[in-house]
Chains A and B, each alone.
Chain A
Amino acid sequence: MGPYILLILLVLPFFGSLVSIFLLNTPSRTLPSWAAGSVAFLSLLVVAAAYPAIYDGEVLRFHVEWVPQLGLDFTLRMDGFAWLFSALITSIGFLVVVYARYYMSEDDPVPRFFSFFLAFMGAMLGIVLSGNVILLSVFWELTSIFSFLLISYWHNTAAARDGARMALTVTGIGGFCLLIGLLLLGNIVGSYDLDKILESGDIIRGHSLYLPALIFILLGALTKSAQFPFHFWLPNAMAAPTPVSAFLHSATMVKAGVFLLARLWPALAGTYEWFWIVGAAGIITLLLGAYFAMFQQDLKGLLAYSTISHLGLITTLLSLGSPLATVAAIFHMVNHATFKASLFMAAGIIDHETGTRDMRRLSGLFRFLPITGTLAMVASAAMAGVPLLNGFLSKEMFFAEAVETHADSILDRILPYVATLASAFSVTYSLRFIHTVFFGPAPSDLPKEKPHEPPHWMRFPVEFLVVSCLIVGIVPAISIGPFLHTAVVSVLGADTPEYSLAVWHGFNLPLMMSITALLGGAALYFVLKDYFATCEDGPPILRRLKGQRIFERILVEVSWRWARLAEQRVGTRNLQPQLRWVVATGFLAGLLPLYLSGFETRPFVFSGVDPRFAAIWLLGIALAVGTAYLAKYHRLAALVTLGGVGLIVCVSFVWLSAPDLAITQLLVEIVTTVLILLGLRWLPKRMHGVDEAITLRARFRRFRDLALAIVCGIGMTFISYAVMTMPVPDAIANYFLENAYSEGGGRNVVNVILVDFRGFDTLGEITVLGVVALTVYALLRRFRPAPDSMDMPEQQQIQNRFDEERPERSAGDTVRDYLLVPSVIMQWMFPVVITFAVYIFLRGHDMPGGGFSAGLTLSIAFLLQYLAGGTRWAEDRIRILPLRWMGAGLLTAAATGIGAWFLGYPFLTSHFQYIELPLIGKVPAATALLFDLGVFSLVVGSTVLILVALAHQSIRINRLRAIDAEKGREA
């Protein structure tokens, strides 16, 4: 199998997750559980299969290049430490699946649970196996997301939703910080490869970016591991189903933070900053977590705070910067996972059997649940650090480290006392957990009557874990010893210290501290017992100070108040100020480079100006100003002058050797004018006497706009003049000119660029055109004119009156006679214009023309028929199906491009050759012509669709009038 073993291990859970989705409709719990269980078990076997290599000190690697330019590689890497975590994840994962089979109710959508669960397991394996830190951060985010989905599994309860959202917000922000930190780290080292980073510890610690990188990475790790002051999300995450709490919030996900701290320990640890930040967070969390845990009334709440405290212990150990402390930290990660997972599952069994987790209601359950009770007692003893259990060993190592001096500071001096105190607290809450739940009188008000032992297989995971606690506690050196050793060596390398896993180290200071903590904790419990039995949830005094509430308040402040304030202050819903800002920004953006890098002045040269050209543009300028002036009250006149400007632009194109542009401009001008003419009918009439009174404010606004407009115009004049008089650099134009004929087979370079060299751009553009046409069509289908546009236009009313007044005429005669001669000409021109379109299309490759202009021409041919005979008349005679034209065009263009694939060329590679046709002779034939045909067809379809949709409104309005009249009658 070799390196693929890692890939298999990573993919297996995700695969299982996908499979579970397909079981969504199974009614039973058994099938999905079996599927998930087999996947988890297989993963466990894969991990086991990797052990021999790991034992030999090998580091397994799997490497695929991802984006090598950015240093992003898909690298998986498994050393002893990663192996230990993989084993932890897969084994506890498997046990939790078994447990969940019995825990979940028949009514829950079990496949969904297992799907998220396995996906989470995959993401978690991804974190521990990543050999590239960016990949690690991807999996890191994935665990946050799946944790969110798992916490909100019972999404019909508010607690689950809130808890999930809070967990996601906190860990998500942390994940983002982590990404920043890892990017900084990669920047320092010059590589995102984990091995390289671990080798360059000295470079990192000496770098000026060390502190920012450290802070960001710690933000990620501390949020994930629920360290103070980010600890508050974990108790709220207890709304998740208990298997989730057992797996994510005790054994795995919250361990990701401390995993990362240990993983990056060789690269980051050992500095004063590390000691202070990590140490302060760890020590405060250790103490606060333990203190809070004592006063919880919810079983899972107690366990959650206890988890926080134990994670604080691990963080503290890692902060010390001594190799021995790191050994203890890794050892405690494993031990904590074992006893805490079993305790969560035991709490779940109690909840399952009695229907409550409130310790004020639970009591004397030992008589009903003797086996579960015994198991829970052993696990709690491990949590409290009682000798001969695994918790004792790592705690003892912690004490030994606590009394050592590492960095002479206040933190270091208080550590032994804090450690003993926190340990005493943990004895208290462990004792409380056992004593309240299992001893005392029989419970009186349980939601479920007659609790009894759960099915054997539900208890099996607890049994297994508790037995492990015992074995590790009694014979550590031969049970966990080798595994721990490979993990420690892979983290610490040459720094691996001598350490002993013996149970008995003689009478020494740590043992004294243990005994003090045990006795003190027990005494504390018996003093506070009665208070615990009745008190409110949460510790005294600090009960009111809830991290959760502070979090909510910050969230509301930032995401609601500040956002609203920002909107009020700097936002507007009015278009005019927005456009004013856009224009002003555009102007300043144009000015900025000139201001920054300076410019040389150049005189305006008036010589060499063709007076005819000047005269044309004098007219053009007059027309443009006229358009601006007339557009408010004289829409038709403004449209006419606008068209005039367009024609002058068109003439300029001819003048300046751009015939293709001139043709297109002319055709588009025609179509646009008709389009706007069709729209004019629906605009409101001029209201006299409304706008007459011009306020001072309006005058100011106009003046400001005018100033802005003039300034922009002057700026554009200068920039245009500068650009046009500059020598044209030797750009890509020459390439196109040189190769248009030899490669594209066309003499009209503009057309060759459009359909061949830059064919992909053109494909995009015609797609846009099609999308716009469809949007226009869709918008107009539901179009309803304003009430004051519903009446018949004045002109039509006059015409109809004229017809009615004369007995020899019937209504509509005048319209029929209107512009009779031009309309006959238009009808006759139909075949001529079509032929012209074909002509323009065919010559396009070698002469001015092509698909765009031919398409516009053909649509004008159709348009003329509508104009000549009216919508009804035209549609009785020709049926145009614009959507088919568009579809065919797009498909033809795309198929031409795809055709190149079949011949082994990239998309849209064109081919041309001369074909010998009988009678006509040699004819050039390029596949680009086929592409151009697609362009042509799409342009025809889109233009006609837009225009016809707009023209149809005047027919629709008759129907709308009839509907309104009907309504009027009914009312």
Chain B
Amino acid sequence: MEIILSIAIGVMTSCGVWLILRPRTYQVIIGLSLLSYAVNLFIFGVGGVKTNVPPILSDDVAISTLADPVPQALVLTAIVIGFATTALFLVVLLASRGLTGTDHVDGRSDPK
């Protein structure tokens, strides 16, 4: 399982990095989303990859078998904040596009 997840994280990172280095704002915003998937999965993976483990406390399950809740809590808020930053960046890119007339990340099409 770990190997699949690692490769997936690697591929998503590659695609994300490639996209954020592109000149169009839309590519950058999509790239950031891909990167945040990769990072969220990575942080989640730090707690150990466990399948079929009860995530909820109950009286007949030993604590040691439960899934690690700490990375989960971290990732949960990261997902929500990720949405907020995506929204902010989207609006900034729209405003920049409205002001400069171009969707280039530097606000002008001719890269110097």
Contacts and interface: CB of A to CB of B under 8 A. Distances in A.
Interface stretch (A221-229, A263-271, A483-491, A721-729): A721-729
Nearest to A608: B1
A684 interface: yes
A627 B44 contact: no
Interface string A644-686: 0110010011011111110011001001100110010011100
Contacts of A709: 13-15, 17-18, 21
Given A684-B102, A713-B10, A768-B81, A747 B48 contact: no
A852 B76 contact: yes
Contacts of A48: none
B1 A625 contact: no
A628 B18 contact: yes
B95 A783 contact: yes
B80 A769 contact: yes
Interface string A832-853: 0000000000000011100010
B48 to A, nearest CB: 4
A621 interface: yes
A306 interface: no
A580 interface: yes
Contact of A716 (B33, B38, B70): B38
Nearest to B18: A709
A853 to B, nearest CB: 9
A732 interface: yes
A620 B77 CA distance: 23
A716 B10 contact: yes
A521 to B, nearest CB: 68
Nearest to B85: A772
Contact of A741 (B33, B57, B77, B88): B57
Interface in A816-830: none
Contacts of A609: 1, 3-4
Given A716-B42, A852-B76, A631 B14 contact: no
B104 to A, nearest CB: 9
B70 A656 contact: no
Contacts of A56: none
Contacts of A604: 3
B24 to A, nearest CB: 6
Nearest to B33: A642
A738 interface: yes
Interface residues of A, number: 115
Contacts of A717: 6-7, 9-10
Nearest to B27: A631
Q: From DSSP, what is the main secondary structure of chain A's interface residues?
A: helix
A912 interface: no
Contact of B51 (A645, A656, A786, A846): A656
Nearest to A676: B90
A653 B8 CA distance: 13
Contact of B72 (A610, A658, A732, A950): A658
Task: Pick from B8, B76, B98 the residue with the most CB of A within 10 Å.
Answer: B76
Interface string B45-89: 111111111111110000110111110110111011111111110
A591 interface: no
Contacts of B51: 610, 655-657
A786 B80 contact: no
Interface string B85-109: 1111011111101111111011000
Contacts of A748: 55-57
Task: Pick from A624, A683, A720, A725 the residue with the most CB of B within 10 Å.
Answer: A720
Given A614-B4, A772-B88, A733 B47 contact: yes
A34 interface: no
B87 A675 contact: yes
Contacts of B27: 631-632
A617 B14 contact: no
Contacts of B77: 754, 761-762, 765, 852
Q: From DSSP, what is the main secondary structure of chain B's interface residues?
A: helix
A705 B70 contact: no
B98 A784 contact: yes
Given A621-B7, A624-B34, A758-B73, A749 B14 contact: no
Interface stretch (A343-351, A386-394, A470-478, A570-578): A570-578
Contact of B18 (A683, A706, A783): A706
A946 B112 CA distance: 35
B50 to A, nearest CB: 5
A628 B50 CA distance: 30
A671 B49 CA distance: 28
Given A627-B30, A717-B10, A683 B103 contact: yes
A779 interface: yes
Given A716-B38, A717-B7, A754-B76, A576 B105 contact: yes
Contact of B69 (A613, A719, A723, A733): A733
Nearest to A717: B10
A846 B8 contact: no
A943 B66 CA distance: 33
Nearest to B97: A786
A743 B68 CA distance: 18
A654 to B, nearest CB: 10
A672 B83 contact: yes
A837 to B, nearest CB: 15
Nearest to A621: B11
A672 B70 contact: no
Contacts of B41: 649, 652, 720
Contacts of A712: 13-14, 17
A574 B111 contact: yes
B72 A660 contact: yes
A878 B96 CA distance: 32
Given A574-B111, A682-B98, A720-B6, A950 B91 contact: yes
A731 B38 CA distance: 23
Given A635-B26, A646-B37, A708-B17, A625 B11 contact: yes
Contacts of B11: 621, 624-625, 713
Interface in A689-741: 705-706, 708-710, 712-721, 723-725, 728, 731-734, 736-738, 740-741
Given A642-B30, A765-B80, A657 B8 contact: no
Nearest to A945: B87
B7 A645 contact: no
Contacts of A656: 1, 44, 49-51, 67
A780 B90 CA distance: 11
A595 interface: no
A657 to B, nearest CB: 4
A785 B96 CA distance: 9
A753 interface: yes
A833 to B, nearest CB: 18
Contacts of B69: 733, 736-737, 740, 749-750, 753
B57 A740 contact: yes
B72 to A, nearest CB: 5
Contacts of A728: 47-48, 68
Nearest to B21: A705
A782 B95 CA distance: 9
Contacts of B48: 724, 728
A724 B56 contact: no
12 contacts: A652-B8, A679-B91, A720-B6, A720-B41, A728-B68, A737-B63, A747-B58, A748-B56, A768-B81, A773-B84, A784-B99, A785-B98
4 pairs of A and B residues whose beta carbons are closest in the complex: A713-B14, A717-B10, A709-B18, A628-B15
Interface of A: 573-576, 579-580, 583, 604-606, 608-610, 613-614, 617, 620-621, 624-625, 627-628, 631-632, 635, 638-639, 642, 645-646, 649, 652-653, 655-661, 664-665, 668, 671-672, 675-676, 679, 682-684, 705-706, 708-710, 712-721, 723-725, 728, 731-734, 736-738, 740-741, 747-750, 753-754, 758, 761-762, 765, 768-769, 772-773, 775-776, 779-780, 782-789, 846-848, 852, 856, 939, 942-943, 946, 950
Given A575-B105, A576-B21, A950-B90, 4 more contacts: A573-B106, A605-B2, A684-B103, A787-B101
